[in-house]
Structure 1
Amino acid sequence: MIRKLFSITFLLAAVLVSCSKSDSPKVYPDGNGQAANPVKRPHGNPVGTAVVKTIGPAGGSIQSADGAIGVQVPAGALNAAVSFSIQQVENTLEGSKGKAFRLLPEGAEFLKPVTITYAYGEQEMKGTIPDALYLAYQNQDGYHYLASQTELDEQTNKLTVQTTHFSDWTVAELMMVVADTNQVKPGGAANLRLKWQLGSLLAPLTQDQPIGDLVDYDGYVSKVSWTLSSGKGHIQPDGIGCVYKAPGQVPAENPAVVSVSVPFTQYNNKRKSLAILLTSIYTVPDEYFILREDGMTTINNPFADGESSLRMEVDSFFYVTTSFQSGSDILITIPGGVAGGGSYPYGTGDKLAYVDFSNINSVDDTYISEKQNCETCDIVYSGGHVKITKFAAEIGDYMEGEFTAEVWLLGHYSPPKKNLSGKFRVKRTV
């Protein structure tokens, strides 16, 4: 049966805090006398190639290759020309789902604050909402701090903050719902829990907060309220936790959406006083492909006889292919020579992934994970990656994975694009 699944909507309000550099962790108690326990974490290893640019007293800007983060240097912030660089690094902040970047030179002295801008997207939004997102930096000793003067622009999906120091920067989600799974079999269950990372969201903060472990929410627990907002199944709320139980068969209305509301003290007129977080739980068979296309979610379409359209083929590569209720097909090509899974960027080659996304109703409606902006321009490959979380080494094993990609219309220069992401589980039959 054809099903149209829609994207998750998140509404939350959090709290405004402020920004200053600190070399050693401090503890700030909350309204209940609780405190954040600072956690020292390793610095992430470099990912890919750094972007380097020289900026002088006249000012200028630099941004990462994927456009996720940028730095604006105002005129008069420097006395002399300085070589800046932005290097993506592994994100070591627990709970953070965004990318992390090393901004150099770390010891640069700015006469005026520079502005850091981070463009958040679907990945950062999983389990939380925009008002819970703040920029965070990691000092030389390995402690993360909340950049509490972070400004949020929901119209452009950007976070900005002014700073006078460089270091490793990423996104911190102050509060989120953590689910042990977002896909359950018919009759199965998913466990959801309300978490946060700071020791205080209950009292006004006047300094940057150290970020501790991702721990159970312990604020206004008695006012936490869970609801099954849409879909089939039922829930069993229990304070900051909730169990979702799926129906006995895959329902036409899929996914189910579980919401939790949490009250907050209102600190300023930019923040609301109630947080509402929504989490989607899919009831799926053993094999599935959940696709998100430009914010709209759908699952793979069965054939007329009820057999799944999801297939996996193997030669020197792994090929995962399926069709969707929208009339679209997708083919993901994954390197087959590396056992045990892994994460693969896009390109053409033995260790690179490729995406082909087409509409069966139009031969001219094919999008691929590469583009060429002009006849003499170099080929540009999609950002994102295909991540294999479970490897199908033998026939009968299941391959599990997830991916994010930009895909561009085939046959055009500077073509229009689509943003794709998804998860899949498919049995290897050959």
Structure 2
Amino acid sequence: MKSPITLLVGLALTFLIASCDSKNESVRPEPDGTPAVVTGAVTPVGISEGTAITANIGPAGGTIQSADERIRITIPAGALATEQTISVQPLSNQCPAGTGQAFRLLPHGQVFGKPVTVTFNYNETDVNGSIPEALRIAYQNDKGIWQYPSAKSLDTTARSVRVESTHFSDWALFQTMYISPGNSFLNPGGNLFLVAFQTPQSEKVGDDFFVPLPSRIPSKHIEKWTLRGGGVLKPNQNQADYHAPSSIPAINPAAVTVFLNETVKIDGVLFKDIRLVCNIFTAPEGLSVQLDGGAWRTYAGGASITGAQNVIQGMDGKESASLLWNGAPTGIFHWTKGIAVAFNLNKGKLIYQHLYGKNLAVSGGSLTVDCSDKAWVVGSFTVQPAGWIDTAPNPLKIGETAVNGVFRVKRVN
């Protein structure tokens, strides 16, 4: 749900993939009991999800992209004989192993005199449980069958995948290898069942491949499963059971990694030591706060995410806790002198905040937020030292403490 949820564990918990000697044998993992012929999956067409973007493009060519800049279509000069109204319509992603928003390119069935370039920009959510090298761009033909071009270009710096096509259709990004689920949120003591999947490669159909339904990566290709963080992992070949710790863990989220033990050929390049990583965030629903290493207390609440001033607020009886930050919904934020990035805990006459001392110095620590999930906002924060004010005595008393926190709350807007 990094930056997306992977920010919480850092870039060190992402995959490691290294090239190997081209003399090594190329092995493409296939599912146990693979049928003789791998056919393309047929699915319903996607449902419209948002307003289409349109542009008039003629023989001179041009570019159009979606409102969220996830997809960009580049039409070269000479691809169109006359001016056309080109549209990009957001869709639900119906592609097997699909990830993120899909799009319908209109006019549907438009054929071009020269190949146009279709570019998808991906984010960390798109590679949850997977790797960028396993991303593909697919289209749905007029029979509802999904296919993907054999040639593509991957730019891990720009985080983009690019293909060429001479026609318009419904287009989507999908993963060819992944752990399911890629990111998860559990209550303390909860359980989760994990499976390592792949979309096996079919025979070529012209210049393209079919997109089959996903199947489990064969057990013989699984070297091991590992766990970094709290909880217990019980692997069994290409699947595993994860049992979350009974309380909020120090390392959150936990990272579960699947190591593949075979050399794999991806786009003509041989790779080894492929690692698929999924993250599991353990916290009760609400905003949970720990003072000076003591017991956790959870405040039920929700999140208002506007992209301008964002607020997470929770209450438990007469007590309340809140987090505020301005700007991007997702990222790492540092406390400020004012309320641009702020923490407040009100326990009646005892108030904790992100400022401390008589001169109200700004506390150390930070706030990490992941809003990549459509329903949930998750993250963690530290306030060290946090200041406290006891308003009961006269004169007031002030002091310092350490605050840790995690949150898993639903959006209210």
**Into which bin does the TM-score normalised by the smaller protein fall?**
0.5 to 0.7
Secondary structure of 2:125's match? helix
Secondary structure of 1:362's match? coil
Q: How much does 1:72 deviate?
A: 0.8
145-154 or 207-216: bigger deviation: 207-216
Structure 2 portions without partners, runs of 5+: 1-6, 20-29, 304-310, 316-320, 343-370, 380-405
Provide closer, same or farther for how the CA distance between residues 65 and 322 of structure 1 changes in structure 2, counting only shifts above 3 A.
Answer: same
Contact 2:264 2:270 in 1 (8 A): no
Residue equivalent to 1:329? 323
Q: Deviations over 1:64-88 (max 9, x none)?
A: 1111111111112222212111111
Q: How much does 1:229 deviate?
A: 4.4
Contact 2:289 2:296 in 1 (8 A): no
Larger strand fraction of residues: 2
Provide closer, same or farther for how the CA distance between residues 100 and 181 of structure 1 changes in structure 2, counting only shifts above 3 A.
Answer: closer
Residue equivalent to 1:261? 259
Residue equivalent to 1:335? none
Contact 2:139 2:170 in 1 (8 A): yes
Query: Aligned runs of 1:105-144 on 2, under 5 Å?
Result: 105-144=107-146
Residue equivalent to 1:246? 244
Amino acid at match of 2:338: V
Residue equivalent to 2:14? 9
Query: Aligned runs of 1:275-290 on 2, under 5 Å?
Result: 275-284=274-283, 286-288=284-286
Amino acid at match of 1:329: L
Q: TM-score, normalised by structure 2?
A: 0.66
Q: How much does 1:246 deviate?
A: 3.2
Q: How much does 1:307 deviate?
A: 5.1
Computing the radius of gyration over CA atoms, which structure comes out larger, 1 or 2? 2
Provide closer, same or farther for how the CA distance between residues 322 and 148 of structure 1 changes in structure 2, counting only shifts above 3 A.
Answer: farther
Does residue 217 (structure 1) correspond to residue 205 (structure 2)? The answer is no
175-184 or 257-266: bigger deviation: 175-184
Q: TM-score, normalised by structure 1?
A: 0.64
Q: Distance in 1 between matches of 2:162 and 2:140?
A: 17
Q: Distance in 1 between matches of 2:373 and 2:273?
A: 36
Residue equivalent to 1:273? 272
Does residue 308 (structure 1) correspond to residue 292 (structure 2)? The answer is no
Provide closer, same or farther for how the CA distance between residues 98 and 104 of structure 1 changes in structure 2, counting only shifts above 3 A.
Answer: same
Q: Distance in 2 between matches of 1:361 and 1:9?
A: 30
Q: Distance in 1 between matches of 2:41 and 2:88?
A: 25
Q: How much does 1:13 deviate?
A: 8.3
Residue equivalent to 1:45? 47
Q: Distance in 1 between matches of 2:244 and 2:302?
A: 31
Q: How much does 1:209 deviate?
A: 2.1
Contact 1:34 1:199 in 2 (8 A): no
Q: Would you say how many aligned residue pairs link Structure 1 and Structure 2?
A: 324
Q: Distance in 2 between matches of 1:33 and 1:41?
A: 20
Amino acid at match of 2:240: C
Provide closer, same or farther for how the CA distance between residues 13 and 86 of structure 1 changes in structure 2, counting only shifts above 3 A.
Answer: farther
Residue equivalent to 1:62? 64
Query: Aligned runs of 1:154-193 on 2, under 5 Å?
Result: 154-179=156-181, 182-193=184-195
Does residue 365 (structure 1) correspond to residue 330 (structure 2)? The answer is no
Q: Distance in 2 between matches of 1:50 and 1:280?
A: 34
